[in-house]
C-alpha cells in the first residue's frame, strides 16, 4: 500500500515532535508545520530523509496554511490525515475576564480554534476526492474547566473556551463528513510533561512545591502523561483500526475527568 501522508500543525512542539516521530517510524510521510523555524530545523535534523517535510507557517494565516497544505499535496500526491496540534494559552497570565484585553483573548482563540478550522478547510478537498481522511483536533481537559488559580495554563479563560469550541467543531464535522469516509475526533490531554527544558515542564517545575503536589494528587494515576502516550492515541485514530470511531472527545489524562 502506498505510504500515507499526515500533516501536523504545530509539529515542532512537544506533542507534535512525539507524533511525528511515531508516524515516521510507522512508515508515514509527514509534513510538519510550525511558526518556530529553529524548532522545525531541529526536527528535520533528527529525522533526516524524504519522509519528513517541514514548513514554517503561521497556523492562523489562511494563505500560509493553504501554501503548506499545497506543499504536502504536491510533494506526496495525497493527504490522508491531519493533526491540529497548534495551540497554546498565550503569554498573558490571567484568571478573570476583566484581566484580559481583547488582543490577548483573540490571540488565544485564533491560535487554537481558527488554526484548526483553517487547516481542516484546506485539507478537505483532497480527503473528499479520496473518500478517505482522518482529522484529530487537539482539545484539552481544560475545556471542561479547572478550579483554582492558573497553573501551567496562562490565559486559561480563552484557552478553555477555544478548547471547548474544538469539541463542538469536531462533533459537527464528524457528522457532516461521515458519509465521505472521513473521521474527525478530538483528544483532551491532561497534564503532559516533556523532557527537561520543554515549555510545560518548565512551567510546572516553576510552581511552588505545594501546587505541584496538589496537581499530581488530583490525577488518579498519580503521575503526568508523556508526549509519546498522546502520540500513540493520535496514531490509533489515524489508523484503519479506528475507521468506525468519529466524533469522540477522548481524554488522555490518567482518569482525571
Whole-angstrom CA distances from 243 to 43, 90, 200 are: 30, 35, 32
Q: How far apart are the first and last CA of the chain?
A: 39
- Rounded-to-integer distance, Cα 36 and Cα 206, Å: 23
- Rounded-to-integer distance, Cα 103 and Cα 69, Å: 28
- Rounded-to-integer distance, Cα 90 and Cα 180, Å: 36
CB-based burial, 100-119: b 16+ in 10 Å, e otherwise: beeebbebbbbbbbbbbbbb
Phi, then psi, of 94 in degrees rounded to 5: -150, 150
Are the C-beta atoms of 165 and 142 separated by less than 8 Å? no
For residue 159, indicate whether it is catalytic: yes
Q: Find the catalytic residue in 76, 138, 159, 204.
A: 159
Whole-angstrom CA distances from 188 to 64, 93, 143 are: 27, 22, 8
Which residues form the catalytic set? 159
Amino acid at each position: 500500500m502506498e505510504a500515507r501522508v499526515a500533516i501536523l500543525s504545530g509539529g515542532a512542539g512537544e506533542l507534535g515532535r512525539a507524533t511525528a516521530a511515531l508516524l515516521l517510524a510507522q512508515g508515514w510521510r509527514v509534513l510538519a508545520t510550525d511558526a518556530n523555524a529553529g524548532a522545525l530545523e531541529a526536527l528535520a535534523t533528527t529525522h533526516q530523509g524524504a519522509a519528513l517535510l517541514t514548513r514554517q507557517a503561521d497556523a492562523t494565516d489562511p494563505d500560509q496554511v493553504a501554501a503548506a497544505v499545497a506543499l504536502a499535496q504536491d510533494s506526496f500526491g495525497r493527504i490522508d490525515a491531519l493533526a491540529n496540534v497548534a495551540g497554546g494559552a498565550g503569554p498573558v497570565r490571567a484568571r478573570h475576564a476583566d484581566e484580559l484585553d481583547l488582543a490577548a483573548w483573540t490571540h488565544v482563540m485564533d491560535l487554537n480554534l481558527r488554526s484548526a478550522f483553517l487547516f481542516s478547510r484546506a485539507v478537505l478537498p483532497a480527503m473528499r476526492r479520496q473518500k478517505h481522511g482522518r482529522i484529530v483536533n487537539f482539545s484539552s481537559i481544560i475545556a471542561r474547566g479547572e478550579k483554582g488559580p492558573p497553573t501551567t495554563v496562562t490565559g486559561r479563560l480563552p484557552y478553555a473556551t477555544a478548547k471547548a469550541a474544538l469539541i463542538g467543531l469536531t462533533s459537527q464535522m464528524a457528522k457532516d463528513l461521515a458519509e465521505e469516509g472521513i473521521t474527525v475526533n478530538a483528544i483532551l490531554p491532561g497534564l503532559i510533561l516533556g523532557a527537561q527544558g520543554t515549555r510545560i515542564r518548565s512551567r510546572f517545575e516553576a510552581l511552588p512545591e505545594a501546587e505541584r503536589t496538589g496537581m499530581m494528587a488530583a490525577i488518579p494515576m498519580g503521575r503526568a502523561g508523556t508526549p509519546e502516550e498522546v502520540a500513540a492515541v493520535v496514531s490509533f485514530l489515524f489508523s484503519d483500526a479506528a475507521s468506525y470511531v468519529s466524533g469522540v472527545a477522548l481524554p488522555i489524562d490518567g482518569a482525571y475527568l
